[in-house]
């Protein structure tokens, strides 16, 4: 399985010629969607879904059943209801976006466990009830503190963890976040720049 990180929360997963893209938002590169067979979206915010780009793509797009995504036809999915996209087995988990302030934003957010190996939580810190090989860990957001990201990695206890949700943090801040996660977690944490794969 080849995993390529793109800007912010967008991740491309390839295996045996199949391509699945998770959270191609307005900040991610169009190249992330080249040859995509299917897309899964964790929630309705523009940094995770570019509706106009996806509307013209012509591939199945899967999103939470309660998401409000006008202008795009999606396959509605729910927590616990496993489905297949681009030949990958996907188990949606969680249910709501992380709390920010004053109860906002209260929208649906599903994390996705791909082939019982890779976990993308979207904008939540939901801990799935299974072992995870590769965790895609949010490292910055208006809803997140670094200590919460560290605790999330420790709670999931993956074999390895890689940063996502990082587009609003400058190089100095990113170095600090990466340093803390690397020092405080014993779970193979490594930062991938946009376009890098593992």
Average pLDDT over residues 30-57: 97
* Model confidence, pTM: 0.93
The residues near 185 (Cβ < 8 Å, ≥ 6 apart) are 150, 153, 154, 161
Query: How far is 55 from 50, CA to CA, in rounded Å?
Result: 9
Average pLDDT over residues 41-48: 96
Distance, first Cα to last Cα, the chain: 9
pLDDT beyond 80 at 186:
no
Nearest-5° Cα angle at 157, 42 to 77: 20
Q: What is the pLDDT of residue 105?
A: 67
For the segment 118-177, what is each residue's pLDDT rounded down to a tens digit? 999 999 999 999 999 999 999 999 899 999 999 999 999 999 999 999 999 988 899 999
Kindly state the tokens that stand for 180: 């803390």
């Amino acid at each position: 399985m080849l995993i390529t990180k793109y800007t912010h929360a967008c991740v491309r997963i390839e295996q045996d010629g199949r391509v699945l893209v998770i959270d191609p938002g307005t900040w991610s590169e169009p190249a992330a969607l080249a040859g995509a067979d299917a897309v899964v979206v964790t929630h309705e915010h523009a940094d995770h879904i570019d509706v106009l780009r996806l509307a013209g793509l012509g591939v199945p797009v899967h999103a939470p059943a309660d998401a409000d995504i006008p202008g795009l036809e999606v396959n509605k999915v729910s927590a616990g209801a496993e489905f297949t996209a681009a030949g990958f087995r996907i188990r949606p988990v969680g249910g709501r976006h992380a709390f920010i302030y004053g109860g906002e934003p209260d929208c649906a957010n599903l994390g996705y466990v791909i082939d019982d190996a890779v976990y993308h939580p979207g904008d939540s810190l939901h801990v799935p009830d299974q072992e995870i090989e590769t965790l895609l860990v949010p490292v910055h957001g208006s809803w997140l503190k670094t200590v919460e990201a560290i605790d999330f990695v420790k709670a999931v206890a993956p074999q390895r963890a890689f940063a996502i949700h990082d587009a609003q943090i400058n190089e100095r801040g990113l170095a600090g976040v990466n340093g803390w996660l690397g020092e405080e977690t014993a779970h193979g944490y490594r930062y991938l720049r946009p376009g890098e794969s593992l």
